[in-house]
Amino acid sequence: MEKPTIEQQEHNIRPDAELQKQHSSDWLWRFWLAVPLYPYSQRRTLRTEVIRDTLWTFDQIQGIFYVVVPIRMTIVKLETGGLLVYAPVAPTPECLRLVNELVAVHGDVKYIILPTISGIEHKVFVGPFARQFSHAQVFVAPHQWSFPLNLPLSWLGLPAKRTHALPDDSRKAPFADEFDYAILGPIALGPGQFEEVAFFHRQTRTLLVTDSIVSIPAEPPAIVQLDPYPLLFHARECAADVVVDTPAHRRKGWQRIALFTLFFQPSVLSVMSLKQTIANALNAADRSKKAYFGLFPFQWHDNWPRSFKALRGNGRLLVAPVLQTLILNRAPKETLDWADILTQWAFQQIIPCHFDAPIQADPQQFRQAFAFLEQAPAIGEGMTRNDAQFLPEEDFALLRDLDETLNRLGIVPPAKEKVSRQMRSFGKAEPFAEPLS
């Protein structure tokens, strides 16, 4: 299905006057102080039916300093009746109403999945969401931990009598007739660990992942456009700019936000000194609290669109640079083994918890995204070098410096050597990767 243009999205999702004036108790997230990310206590939810009467996504947004990206929950209808929830989002009244509309037609929520151990932005919602569906069983990625104190899950709000660790073997899970899953990790990171559980829904040939894979859309996602202020904030060139709300400015702001999110500080972005930032703030067009009192310490270089184009790669599958640089390079063989297991599943689309979804992609394209972990990455059939995982090295500068500093201070273990491609066959499972079903 062809995706709508930004102009069509704007027409379809712009709230009417009454909705714009509404102070929304419907969007209220009371526990926002637990993880104080924008938009704090007001979180809107956008439900999308991906496959009729079978598969739905629920998008909200989150971010810091108006660098906002989607965070996504996926709900799947079970063949035996009822629903499975992958990676819950904030259970606001609006979100719960949208879920309960499905419950009324397809049956109660039976299973709630927490597919990560390190993603606090996912973990924080599971307890409150589970309390709204008292008959649901909660399954979590094993090896859960918390910081600064490693507390029991029940102390973090998860229902003690209904919470279980996912079995290592997916055939032992109560939903094994419909789903396979494979666990990546745990990967030791010093103070904590990284782990992610990918789910494969056989009926719809859909792969569900959390953070491991993303695809960057050129146009801002619909959920981000419900309130375009963050897009327009980052579309400015300086604090004195007054940006008019146009599709082009929304697109510009979104593309810069993507670069912020995935590189922190790409090579095409300079950060001004505190003195210059304050001086510019005094001449800012808007010095309100909403505009951070006129503070805008960013200076984008003229060639920033080229950096975004390289990052997006025509929407190809991408392992986020922060995962490439700080996490997965601590366990390259284990990560590739996990990716090889997933390539055995005949999925046709992928739904991650962030950025674009659904992504039309096959196992070969998925496996190619992890080629950065190999010493001599090969190009998959039908691909060019520009399609593969080759990002400008200069955009990694800040992440490389951060990685070196953390390692030098003994906070994180050193990265391991990349894996030789010997005895590996691109896009095919290795001998050690036996099917899980």
Please check the confidence at residue 230 and state whether its pLDDT lies above 80: yes
Q: Which of 66, 144, 63, 55 is nearest to 106 (CA)?
A: 55
Chain centroid to Cα 167, Å, comes to 24
Mean pLDDT of 396-423: 86
Residues 6+ apart with CB under 8 A from 399: 263, 264, 321, 322, 325, 326
pLDDT over 70 at 324, yes or no: yes
Instruction: Please state at what angle helix 304-312 crosses helix 247-263, rounded to 10 degrees.
Output: 70
**Collapsed DSSP state (helix, strand, coil) of residue 129:** helix
- Judged by average pLDDT, the poorest of 6-20, 96-110, 390-404 is 6-20
Other Cβ atoms closer than 10 A to 146: 16
Q: Cβ-count burial of 390 within 10 angstroms (0-12 exposed, 13-18 middle, 19+ buried)?
A: middle
pLDDT at 421: 66
Q: Where are the alpha helices (DSSP H) in 313-370?
A: 321-326, 332-342, 363-368
pLDDT, averaged across the chain: 87
CA 283/CA 9 separation, integer angstroms: 34
| pLDDT at residue 149, as a whole number | 65
Query: How far apart, in whole angstroms, are the C-alpha atoms of residue 345 and residue 436?
Result: 10
Do 175 and 82 meet the contact criterion of CB atoms below 8 Å apart? no
Locate tokens 């960057």: which residue? 216
Estimate to the nearest angstrom the gap between the alpha carbon of 27 and the chain centroid: 21
| List of domains in the chain | 6-216+327-368 (3.60.15.10), 238-313 (no CATH)
Instruction: Answer whether residue 201 shows pLDDT above 60.
Output: yes
Is 80 exceeded by the pLDDT of residue 156?
A: no
pLDDT tens-digit readout, 258-293: 999 999 889 889 999 999 999 999 989 889 999 899
Read off the pLDDT of residues 26-82 as tens digits, 9 standing for 90 and up: 999 999 988 899 999 999 999 999 999 999 999 999 999 999 999 999 999 999 999
> pLDDT exceeding 90 applies to what percent of the chain?
69
Check: CB of residue 145 under 8 Å from CB of residue 187.
no
pLDDT in the model for residue 35: 87
Kindly state the average pLDDT of the residues 165-189. 94
Kindly list the distances between the CA atom of residue 235 and the CA atoms of 15, 27, 42, 244, 371, in Å, as whole numbers in the listed order.
22, 26, 23, 10, 33
For residues 20 and 124, the model is more confident at 124
> Percentage of the chain surpassing pLDDT 70?
86
pTM more than 0.85: yes
Q: Token pair 């396979």 is at which residue?
A: 180
pLDDT confidence bin for 189, thresholds 50/70/90: confident
Amino acid occupying residue 102: L
DSSP 14-73: ---HHHHH---GGGB-TTGGGS--BTTTB---EEEEEETTTEEEEEEEEEETTEEEEEEE
Q: Is residue 122 very low, low, confident or very high in pLDDT (cuts 50, 70, 90)?
A: confident
Enclosing H/E stretch for 370: none
pLDDT value at 297 more than 60: yes
CA distances from 65 to 68, 282, 290, 355 (A): 8, 19, 10, 18
